[in-house]
Homo-oligomer: A and B are copies of this chain.
């Protein structure tokens, strides 16, 4: 599993883990219907506690990105062809807005913001 944790980061370990798993799914490195490693094995790999990995998995389940099958394991959900649900879209916008406002305050204009957004998309999907 291609994951790297920064223990000293201000970002919680379980969030780092969830984010990196999301990126791996977005990039196609791991695909829908694939099983994620068990919480115990991944925890051992990363040198963190089992409960921390468990928490990351449950964050992804809340977002409907994976499905946790009790007593069995976690599986990546298929990407909805209908796009995000209203709730998902609202949350994305809620978190996107302050970042965009900050970019504007830094002197970026619409073109620049769309440009770096575009480059990040390429980075994820082609990287």
Question: Which A positions have Cβ atoms within 8 angstroms of B?
Answer: 19, 22-23, 25-27, 63, 65, 79-85, 88-89, 92-93, 95-108, 110, 112-114, 116-118, 120-121, 123-125
A33 and B102 alpha carbons, distance in the complex (Å): 18
A19 and B101 alpha carbons, distance in the complex (Å): 8
Q: How many copies does the complex hold?
A: 2
- Contacts A89-B116, A116-B89, A117-B113: A80 and B106 contacting too (C-beta < 8 A)? yes
A105 and B59 alpha carbons, distance in the complex (Å): 14
A115 and B98 alpha carbons, distance in the complex (Å): 17
Evaluate contact between B105 and A79: CB separation under 8 angstroms: yes
Evaluate contact between A97 and B120: CB separation under 8 angstroms: yes
